[in-house]
Structure 1
Amino acid sequence: MLPTPTYTLGRRQRSLTPDQHRTLSAPLTVRQPWSPPDAEPITFTPDVLHSLRGGLTTYHGPGQLVLWPVTDLRSPHHPHFSVRAYASLLEDTTAFLLRSRFGIATFRDEDNPGVWVRSDDPSRGPDRKIAALGIHLRRHITTLGLALNITLPTKGSTEVNPWARFTPCGIPDRDVTSVAAEVGADPANVAVSENVKQELDPEAIARAWGQEFKRRLEAGG
């Protein structure tokens, strides 16, 4: 079963206007990656929710891997982390996975959290976010975390591209991308090789990410 597409608002974000809410909650058409052209798409009515994280509006849905470790930053079982150091741990773990598994080079932006792909080719548009970051901390225990775009659409109309309905994270001069887009594996192309499909399998990516996260957590970053 596919997860329900969900738009989340930051804890300090103003409530949406009725028009903004209607735009986000309008029916969204989702296709399973690598499905045949005659396969019936699934239409969802996205949820629109407030969250405990900072920042502005973002999206979670099918084709995205949500990685939310619950971590005691003062645990005796690993070096202690500040919130900033923990955010860097999440970003660095993701950057390592993208580079080692897919050959995708990324960078961090101190002013805009997350994991970014730099645009060295003007035809590809501006720098683009491949993973969004949002952390909530209570009594040094973390919740929330990071969401990595794997196969979800990042181009197209508002009927199929969830990002076209709002300005992601409130940054108008940047774009959004996915692992599939960066490696040239179109989820609508049924001829994509089995090897590529296996590399893009969310469960396999989650296992690899978890192993690297554990290694870095125990090493102190």
Structure 2
Amino acid sequence: MPLPPVLYHCFHTPLPYTRTLLLQEKIHQLQLASRRSSSHHDVLLLLQHRPVYTSGRRQTEEELQTERARLTAIGADFVVAARGGQLTYHGPGQLVGYPLLDLARTSPPMGIRDYICRMQRMIQSYLQNTHEITHVPSDHTGVFLDSATKIASIGVQVRHRLTTHGFAMNVTNEPLEWFGRVVACGLADVKAGCIAEAKGQSVRVEDVMPGIVEAFGTLYERDMEKLYPQDAGELGEAILALEEDALAAGEWLKAPSSN
């Protein structure tokens, strides 16, 4: 029996990080509740965040307290996340993808290592095929333009074989100054790169989304189907509520404060 399509939704207003965590948790619970009847949907959310630094599970409480005070002072939010990895930045100009997939749908079930490797190859193939941007191999998870420049990060969480969190890829120059305020992912000798810088021309996040949807379907061997929130029940209601919150949040800082 063929697998059902992955439903995808593209947000166009940068989203508050904490509220987006709640949306992921809502989808996770909906998937758990309807899994026995196989009526649950796999979902891919594509979006940008408002400026936020997030920590993974590898930081100590002392490190978190120091960084929280420093980074909120320059105008970003700071959130402790349940994903793997260390401190990183999300914000406008960066495409974030949250695949919420049931890894047990396939036979045999997809392993976590395979899931992450496909995600990394998906980003690599998109950059090469769409923008002629090549990557270099690295011992670290993520996608690197050279040994000292990282363009995309991956940090996932898997519970009950259901995935949350995902990947982030820098598109415009806007995230780079924010990244310059931290040692992202614990890599002191690595700076952030982006598509616009690598190509030497401007690129919009909205223009990147369709290609990522296509690459995702190819690498995960799934059909992709656009999600229409007004027709998607509880899932759609949660998406529409988050879009309203994003609009109500208003403008955001375009660069770190000099404080």
Normalised to the residue count of structure 1, the TM-score between the two structures is 0.72
Change (3 A) 1:108 1:52: farther
Counterparts of residues 57-206 of structure 1 (less than 5 Å): 57-76=87-106, 80-109=109-138, 111-118=139-146, 126-153=147-174, 161-185=177-201, 197=202, 200-206=203-209
Look up the SS of the partner of 2:96 in the other structure: strand
CA distance in 2, matches of 1:19, 1:140: 34
Q: Deviations over 1:7-56 (max 9, x none)?
A: 001123112365432321123xxxxxxxxxxxxxxxxx211111011111
Letter in 2 for 1:207: P
Counterpart position of 1:33:
none
The one-letter code matched in structure 2 to 1:213 is F
Say what the alpha-carbon RMSD is for the aligned residues: 2.0
Where is the helix percentage greater, Structure 1 or Structure 2? 2
Gaps of 5+ in 2: 1-12, 15-48, 223-259
| Identical amino acids, percent of aligned pairs | 30
CA distance in 2, matches of 1:163, 1:94: 20
Whole-angstrom CA distance in 2 between matches of 1:93 and 1:17:
32
Which of 54, 60, 70 is the equivalent residue of 2:84? Answer: 54
Tell me which of 13, 17, 23 is aligned to 2:70: 23
> Match of 1:114, as an amino acid?
G
Residue 154 of structure 1 contacts residue 177 of structure 1 at CA under 8 Å; is this kept in 2?
A: no
**Matching residue of 2:246:** none
**Separation in structure 1 between the aligned mates of residue 220 and residue 65 of structure 2, nearest angstrom:** 43
1:113 and 1:136, CA in 2 relative to 1: closer, same or farther beyond 3 A?
Answer: same
Is residue 54–residue 81 contact of structure 2 (8 Å, CA) maintained in 1? yes
Query: Hey, what's the Cα distance between the residues in 1 that align with 2:175 and 2:206?
Result: 21
Give the match's secondary structure for 2:142: strand
| Partner SS for 1:113 | coil
For structure 1, list consecutive stretches of 5 or more residues without a partner in the other structure.
28-44, 119-125, 156-160, 186-196
SS in 2 for 1:90: helix
What is the aligned partner in structure 2 of residue 210 from structure 1?
Answer: 213
Distance across 2 between alignment mates of 1:18 and 1:214: 40
Asked if structure 2 preserves the Cα contact closer than 8 Å seen for 1:91 and 1:108, the reply is no
Aligned equivalents of 1:168 and 1:207: distance in 2? Answer: 27
Tell whether the 8 Å contact from 1:63 to 1:151 is kept in structure 2 after alignment: yes
Matched to 1:98, the amino acid is: L
Displacement of 1:65 after TM fit? 0.3
Structure 1 counterpart SS, 2:82: coil
- How far has the Cα of 1:215 moved from its partner? 2.1
Amino acid at match of 2:205: P
User: Which deviations, in whole Å up to 9, do the C-alpha atoms of 1:133-154 show, x marking residues without a partner?
Assistant: 0010001111111000001346
Q: Does the CA-based 8 Å contact 1:62-1:152 persist in structure 2?
A: no
CA distance in 2 between partners of 1:210 and 1:128 (Å): 25
Task: Pick closer, same or farther for the CA change 1:216–1:154 going to 2, 3 Å.
Answer: closer
